[in-house]
Chain A
Amino acid sequence: ETGVTQTPRHLVMGMTNKKSLKCEQHLGHNAMYWYKQSAKKPLELMFVYNFKEQTENNSVPSRFSPECPNSSHLFLHLHTLQPEDSALYLCASSQDRGSGTDTQYFGPGTRLTVL
């Protein structure tokens, strides 16, 4: 619908598991983002990639590891997560990260539960 897809939509994992979230955008955008949305909290920016280069790491713990192989794909690799990492993880894209007026288009999110 929005041109940004995410898989899986739901994920339950144990603290010792390793999993990856995938995001793909079909909009021809150059910038991609990972956000975390916890219950009753505002969206928190985690990572930004522009033209495949990471331009922002918003003090995210190393148990979250992003990967951007090309401008259309973005991954978030997860390992040894904590229960407090349970949240909705949203991917977004925009034309270019340089303009404050660029609209960011969000994917449907992956709802992650860490047991």
Chain B
Amino acid sequence: RKEVEQDPGPFNVPEGATVAFNCTYSNSASQSFFWYRQDCRKEPKLLMSVYSSGNEDGRFTAQLNRASQYISLLIRDSKLSDSATYLCVVNMDSSYKLIFGSGTRLLVRP
């Protein structure tokens, strides 16, 4: 089983739609969780950290379910500029080592 698993997509949605991605992780001792965004042929950039209580940043909501070992990202009112690959990232032991998922590709169409 992969350490961090994501549906590769692509998710093809119209502008204004709500879309959600899930990501599962294998190590129940994982400490920190993040969503990064990577545009085509660009570097990954931190989108948001994921906290146990869930957190929201504008149109983006991230949630953590420790019991089922998954995190989610919800995007409301999708914009064309949201088209990118979304990387689920897990930190296993509060050290520097981040484990990246392969990413979920989102395409927002006009």
Contacts and interface: CB of A to CB of B under 8 A. Distances in A.
Interface of A: 2, 31, 33, 40-43, 45, 48, 50, 55-56, 90, 94, 97-109, 111
Q: For the complex, would chain B's binding face be called helix, strand, loop or mixed by DSSP majority?
A: loop
A90 B43 contact: yes
B97 to A, nearest CB: 6
A109 B43 contact: yes
A48 B94 CA distance: 15
A101 B41 CA distance: 26
A104 B42 contact: no
12 contacts: A40-B8, A42-B100, A42-B103, A43-B100, A55-B96, A97-B96, A98-B95, A100-B93, A100-B96, A104-B98, A106-B43, A108-B42
Q: How large is the interface on B (under 10, 10 to 19, 20 to 34, 35 or more residues)?
A: 20 to 34
Contacts of B42: 108-109
Contacts, number: 58
Contacts of B96: 31, 33, 48, 50, 55-56, 94, 97-98, 100, 102
Contacts of B101: 42
A100 B94 contact: yes
* Nearest 7 A/B pairs, CB to CB: A97-B96, A100-B94, A106-B43, A100-B91, A43-B100, A42-B100, A100-B32
